[in-house]
């Protein structure tokens, strides 16, 4: 049985493309860096409103932040 976590968001990829760190994003959002870490590793997911805010901050569309099969 594969224990591989399902990739839902592409936040890690988009942050890398934009040259932004988890810590920088945490500061912009006034969030604990541990929360951002959980998002980028797909341990947890941002809510819909946060996905919209992330897209605005990163200059991408919301669907750019999501993996599509």
Domains of the chain by residue range: 11-60
- In this predicted structure, the answer to whether residue 68 has a pLDDT above a threshold of 90 is no
CATH architecture of 11-60: Orthogonal Bundle (1.10)
Q: How confident is the model at residue 55 (pLDDT cuts 50, 70, 90)?
A: very high
Among 4-8, 21-25, 55-59, the least confident range? 4-8
Q: How confident is the model at residue 10 (pLDDT cuts 50, 70, 90)?
A: very high
Two tokens at 66? 């999501």
Q: Is 64 exposed, middle or buried (0-12, 13-18, 19+ CB in 10 A)?
A: middle
Two tokens at 52? 């919209």
pLDDT of residue 7: 86
pLDDT of residue 3: 55
Q: What is the rounded average pLDDT for all residues in the chain?
A: 93
């Amino acid at each position: 049985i594969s224990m591989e976590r399902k990739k839902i968001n592409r936040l890690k990829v988009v942050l890398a493309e934009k040259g932004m760190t988890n810590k920088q994003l945490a500061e912009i959002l006034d969030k604990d860096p541990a929360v951002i870490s959980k998002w980028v590793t797909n341990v947890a997911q941002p809510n819909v409103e946060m996905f919209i805010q992330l897209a605005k901050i990163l200059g991408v569309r919301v669907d750019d932040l999501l993996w599509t099969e």
